[in-house]
Amino acid sequence: MAEIKTKDKTVLRSLGLGGFFGGGAEGMIDVKDGKIVRVRPMRYGWKYNKEDVRQWEMKRDGKTITAAWKSLPGPFSLAYKKRVYSPNRIKYPLKRVDWDPNGERNPQNRGKSKYVRISWDEATDLIASEIKRIHKTYGYNAILMQGDGHGECKTINTPHGHSGTLLDNMGGFTLQVRNPDSWEGWYWGAKHVWGQGVQGNMWPAANIVNDTTENSEQVLFWGCDPETTPWGFTGQFPSRLCYFWSEVGIKQIYICPDLNYGAAVHADKWIPVLPNTDAALQLAIAYVWITEDIYDKEYVDTHVVGFEPFADYVTGKEDGVPKTPAWASKKCGVPEWTIKALAREFAAKVTSIAHYFGGGFIRGPFSHENARLEVILLGMQGLGKPGVHHHQLTYFGMPRREGLGGTFFWNPEIEERLSIPVMSSVTAWQEQVIPKTLIHKAIESDEPITFHGTGAIEALAMDQFNKYTYPLPKDEGGTEIHMMWTDTPCRITCWNGGNETQLSLRNPKIECIVSQHPWLENDCIYSDIILPANTYMEVDDILTNIRQGTQQPNIMIADKAIEPIGESKSDFEIVVEIAKKLGYEQEVTGGLSIQDMQKKVWEYMDGEKLVSWEDLQEKKYWIYNTAENWKDDPAGFEKFAKDPEKHKLPTPSGKLEFYSEALAENFPDDKERQPVPKWIEKSAMHDERLSSHRAKMFPLLLMSNHGRWRVHSQCDDITWTREVQTCKIMGPDGYKYEPLWLHTSEAEKRGIKHGDIVKIFNERGIVLAGAYVTERLRQGVVYIDHGARHDPIKTGEIERGGAINTISPAGITSRNCVGQATSGYLVQVEKLRGEEMDKWRREYPDAFEREYDPDAGLRFDAWVIGGKK
Ligand SMILES: Nc1nc2c(c(=O)[nH]1)N[C@H]1C(S)=C(S)[C@@H](COP(=O)(O)OP(=O)(O)OC[C@H]3O[C@@H](n4cnc5c(=O)[nH]c(N)nc54)[C@H](O)[C@@H]3O)O[C@H]1N2
Ligand SMILES: Nc1nc2c(c(=O)[nH]1)N[C@H]1C(S)=C(S)[C@@H](COP(=O)(O)OP(=O)(O)OC[C@H]3O[C@@H](n4cnc5c(=O)[nH]c(N)nc54)[C@H](O)[C@@H]3O)O[C@H]1N2
Ligand SMILES: [Mo]
């Protein structure tokens, strides 16, 4: 019988969607007849024996957990072939039909007009001549380079750097600085209590996973869903860890507005709190501890500065308001007796707190207060003593690997050596900068804007005290931006003030917008020129799968799986094509081939000490050994806990600062972030509490988590996951809506039934969704994930695709903190009346006539003249 051939070849990939580094979610891609037929988890034993790779073990009560010998990717990773072949792929270069660089540019039609097909030659000519014209007319800084964000794991063909390299070589550009979006609160808050940290997180964090496994009696999952968000970066190892913790008797308490997926399977107790009211709950815990004398006084005496002013605020000595459980209960919705029980349990048991990054707890208005209060609570219970840690669940704190930096996902000692342009948008600093959260304001404002701190990942805490201005003064090369070039066009769906963002993209000051992207979606439809980028399946690359939390960190050669779809090119090749037209090819490529660059990355990883280049080429991957002496690394703040005089923290005083002298000095008038963390009811920037007069019109607090079935805006088009009800809800009109969770009683009050089309709204606009009626969420709250793709009915006002950030606050974390505040704000929800939809159909016929496919959602055809062929 003839052998049935199921594949022609198998190639390796890293399937997480965090961008840059991967790990944990590796996959094997089977290809047959030039098509991807299967994406499966990676067997690490493909070319190695398990005994040949040194493994770690963590033990408790005679039970053991160790890393799996198979990767554990999330479902969207395993369904990625649907994304590669999505009907929304951009097949060829496009130009907006009514954008004429030599005549009318019609910026007012961005987001409305369709596109025509052009050739690569025409597209690159157009872009090259626009760059030259802008440089000549306004100067280098008139081009905004937007290259940052998550995405596919690629190293050489990655976006986020190459356009910056080109423009940098031509003189410079205005840099869009990413804010530490995953960690706002930690960065703008916690940093001031415990010092540096990479992004304000606990640092050092070595070995805390093992130490909690051995020593903690309970873990508070405070704004954490280990069954969802680890999928996006590192796969499902945290799920295994949580099951193990249950098995060995570590109690798990979930504090979150929804009974999230982790809570549903791991929680010993669920404490449903109202979104972004955690500060009240935390203050009441401190109140119970102080009044009942159940905190670690000796530790506080020796490790803390500023306990007194903090205690004065908690007990009400400062402002006459004791932060009692009764006081807190009204704000956070947790009953008084639960708050007291939680406080007493926390004090009585050896307790760690776990987040992945922190959810709405660190991504709402004033999130620095929650983060600072958490560090203070841990400080009052002996932070750094056995079993008392702050976790970013396995993201930091896993056993050290030999030849790897140990506590972070790259090797800081040899970072300097990587000279290919990977990540250069993060590292190529420019004179004129705009934080990503302020782009819309920067465009719309006719006056210069100022801000404190850029939020840059690598910036020191002290950057927060620097004042910046956009545009810079003229004599320093300052100019407003007139052209935007993006390789991550999803600010509307993922960032603050989505509706304002849409309108700002129509500002006539912006003469040209270029996007390079694999799929025609989100901000792409506001561009003048769109270039088709390809996916990681279509390129040769090298991957460094070394994120913490990765089960078997490795280096991997990723051979091309399939030929590029349509006329697409990699993000790197795109920039090279444009560079050629400008005479800068050599500067961008450094004269290196892709193979040369692969080797350079391996050298950067100190590869020669690990595996020979030939061996890596042959086997295609290499797995790091666990360091033999990994258990010798002190766990987290252990050294500081043992001897705070000898092992100082990088705060000005060297201790945990419950009162920050630095904040007092630099921002004496800041009422939103005072030297001692407080409960902030409202401010000029944010008025989003249930106590607000606005709550009479908008009585619900909206929480937006990270999508279970996608990573931000990525993967919203996967036909398989879109069949799941928690992913999309089929409306009676045949459109698949983003689900909005609301409590049975809230639905009843509004005459809403499961599956109805609802409108979520506030003064900032309207978003349509499908009602998901459930009791897995407390009353007074509605929940919808961010990142559903933008499908405007009316630009800047009415959204059908479910992109909830269109109505999120446009402001920043607080006055002096340029983070995003995109969860925990006021809305109302109503059933959408048929007459209203009919009226929109009449008023905005284009929006309803666009090509649409419920299985995959938005389509490329919808925006291209003649695209349906
Ligand atoms: N409401 C609300 N909003 C939030 C959050 C929240 O909790 N609630 N969380 C915030 C957080 S933590 C983050 S990190 C941000 C994420 O925000 P982003 O990082 O901006 O979001 P992503 O959707 O991951 O991706 C960026 C874009 O890059 C594209 N892309 C992916 N791979 C490639 C590629 O290889 N080439 C090109 N050219 N493009 C590619 C994607 O399709 C997408 O359009 O969202 C934030 N927004
Ligand atoms: N599947 C998937 N994985 C991802 C991502 C993704 O988009 N999808 N994104 C990746 C990125 S960039 C990041 S930063 C991380 C984010 O990881 P996280 O920050 O952990 O993710 P979130 O879903 O925002 O929040 C986690 C949980 O916090 C709870 N929560 C929300 N608001 C509040 C609140 O106000 N108070 C309290 N106490 N709890 C609250 C909710 O129960 C929610 O499930 O995930 C990464 N992994
Ligand atoms: Mo993030």
In terms of Cβ atoms closer than 10 Å to its own Cβ (0-12, 13-18, 19+), residue 249 is: exposed
Over range 211-230, report the average pLDDT: 98
**185 CA distance to ligand 1 middle (Å):** 19
Ligand nearest the Cα of residue 359 is 2
Average pLDDT over residues 670-690: 98
CA 656/CA 76 separation, integer angstroms:
41
Q: Which atom of ligand 1 is nearest to the CA of 706?
A: 7
C-alpha–C-alpha distance, residues 107 and 148, integer Å: 24
pLDDT band at 602 (very low <50, low <70, confident <90, very high): confident
Q: Residue 526's pLDDT band (boundaries 50, 70, 90)?
A: very high
Instruction: For CA atoms 655, 357, 371, 672, give the dihedral sign.
Output: positive
The pLDDT of residue 654: 96
C-beta 489 within 6 A of ligand 1? yes
Report yes or no: 172 and 430 within 8 Å, Cβ to Cβ. Answer: yes
Distance 686 CA to ligand 1 centre (A): 24
Q: Please provide the DSSP assignment of 638-653 as one string.
A: HHHHH-TTTS--SSTT
State the distance from the centre of ligand 1 to the C-alpha of 790, rounded, in angstroms: 13
CA-based max dimension of the chain:
87
Q: Which residues pair with 115 in a beta bridge?
A: 96, 864
Whether the bond between 226 and the residue before it is cis, its omega within 30 degrees of 0, is: no
Say what the pLDDT of residue 203 is: 83
Asked whether 710 and 787 are in contact (CB, 8 A), the reply is yes
Q: Which residue has the higher pLDDT, 78 or 411?
A: 78
* Burial class, 231, CB count within 10 angstroms (exposed 0-12 / middle 13-18 / buried 19+): buried
What pLDDT, on a 0 to 100 scale, did the predictor assign at position 199? 79
Instruction: Give the model's confidence band at 424: pLDDT under 50 very low, under 70 low, under 90 confident, else very high.
Output: very low
**Ligand 1 neighbourhood includes 575 CB (under 6 angstroms):** no
146, 712, 718: residue to mutate for ligand 1 pocket, most atoms within 8 A of CB: 712
Please tell me the distance between residue 228's alpha carbon and the centre of ligand 2 in angstroms.
8
Strand 781-783 and strand 812-814: the pairing is unpaired
Q: For 83-102, what is the mean pLDDT?
A: 97
CA of 393 to the centre of ligand 3 (A): 14
Strands 656-657 and 700-703: unpaired
Per-chain mean pLDDT for the chain: 93
Portion of the chain with pLDDT greater than 70, in percent = 96
The pLDDT assigned to 556 comes to 95
pLDDT at 412: 40
List phi, psi (to 5°) of 841. Answer: -60, -40
Residue 318 has pLDDT above 70, yes or no: yes
Query: How far apart, in whole angstroms, are the C-alpha atoms of residue 240 and residue 230?
Result: 11
pLDDT at 458 over 60: no
Give the pTM. 0.97
Q: Is the CB of 255 under 6 A from ligand 2?
A: yes
What is the number of the ligand closest to the CA of 363?
A: 1
- The matching CATH number, chosen from 2.60.120.10, 1.10.246.90, 2.40.40.20, 3.40.50.280, for 693-862 is 2.40.40.20
Euclidean distance between CA atoms 702 and 781, whole angstroms: 6
pLDDT at 421 (0 to 100): 44
Q: Which of 114-123, 173-182, 706-715 is the least confident region?
A: 173-182
CA–centroid distance, residue 456 to ligand 1 (Å) = 17
pLDDT band at 413 (very low <50, low <70, confident <90, very high): very low
DSSP state for residue 189 in the 8-state scheme: I
Please give the pLDDT value at position 511.
98
Q: Is the pLDDT of residue 555 over 80?
A: yes
Mean pLDDT of 539-559: 90
> For 184-400+636-666, which CATH class?
alpha beta
- Could you tell me if 408 and 544 are in contact, meaning their C-beta atoms sit under 8 angstroms apart? no
C-alpha dihedral sign at 342, 344, 349, 352: positive
**pLDDT at residue 459 in the model:** 56
Is the Cβ atom of 218 under 6 angstroms away from ligand 1?
Answer: no
- The b/e string for 286-315 (b: 16+ C-beta within 10 A; e otherwise) is bbbbbeeebbbeebbeebbbbbebbbebbb
Neighbours of 206 (CB within 10 A): 22
Nearest-angstrom CA–CA distance, 259 and 656 = 33
Domain boundaries, the chain: 184-400+636-666, 693-862
Give the ligand 1 atom nearest the CA of 487. 38
pLDDT of residue 419: 44
Q: Is the Cβ atom of 359 under 6 angstroms away from ligand 2?
A: yes
Which 3 state secondary structure label does DSSP give 543? strand
Rounded Cα distance, 785 and 780, in Å: 17
Model pLDDT, residue 159: 87
Q: Is 223 in the pocket of ligand 2 (CB under 6 A)?
A: yes
Distance 150 CA to ligand 3 centre (A): 8
pLDDT tens by residue, 16-61 = 998 877 888 999 999 999 999 999 999 999 999 999 999 999 999 9
- Which residue puts its alpha carbon closest to atom 28 of ligand 1? 488
Find out whether the beta carbon of 229 lies less than 6 Å from any atom of ligand 2: yes
Q: Using CA atoms, how far apart are residues 781 and 764, in angstroms rounded to an integer?
A: 18
Flag whether pLDDT at 649 surpasses 60.
yes
Lowest mean pLDDT of 146-160, 215-229, 488-502, 523-537, name the range: 146-160
Domains 184-400+636-666 and 693-862 share a fold: no
Name the residue at shortest CA distance from atom 36 of ligand 2. 361
